[in-house]
Amino acid sequence: MKFLEYTPLERTNEFLSHLNLGERTIKGYLEPYSCKHTGTDKKLSLSLENEMLDYLGKSSDTDSSSPAEFLLSRSSRKTLIYLVLTLYRLYPDYDFSAVNAHQFFTEESWDSFKQIFDSYMFEASKAWIEENEGISLVETLYKALDEVVKLSECEIYSYDPDSDADPSLEKGAIWSFNFFFYNRKLKRVVSFRFCCFSNLVAEGFLLDDSSYEEDGEIFDDMDM
């Protein structure tokens, strides 16, 4: 997977690199990759393929929603390999299993992505409008992505692992999302990860033991 330089994404990346919203900070980043194998990609790709074939050889599950059903298709396995290779680029310290990762990938539409984006990035979108008259943040994002991967030809995937296996949540994020815009014809994928951090935690508010003991009840009912 080769990282690609695309100017259309730079404006959005700069805006979302560290967006301070008072008590919270939003961080987001778009990363475009060519699906051409580089370096250790071939070896890792072969390892992932063998893992899936080994799973298929041992599986007797015929449920249409099971990993086995999805992995029977060579095209599906290839797509999953590209997505997992992209995850390795995003989170190099993690060891991803293709079979396990499949369970956390969900195929999305632009409308379902937009619904999530509008809900969680509402304040970020307002801040964007204040700085940039006219076009909205999601419209800017659409145009930039369309220029890089032609959205009408894209498959869109979200990656939503268990909370204890989410790299962003492990680093203290309140919430996080990972989306992948994959163009099979262009052999190109753009990852878009965006997450939210509490500035109270970042400023060490929770690290003051005495304050934590006195005000601990504040956090008792919080959904972390």
Q: Write down the pLDDT at residue 122.
A: 95
pLDDT band (50, 70, 90) for residue 48: confident
Residue 199 pLDDT: 87
How far is residue 62's CA from residue 39's CA, in Å, rounded to a whole number? 36
The model's pLDDT over 65-84, given as tens digits with 9 standing for 90+, comes to 555 666 777 788 888 889 98
Residues 87-143 pLDDT 10s: 888 888 887 777 677 777 888 999 999 999 999 999 999 999 998 877 899 999 999
- Residue 62 predicted with pLDDT over 70: no
Cα Rg for the chain, rounded, in angstroms?
Answer: 19
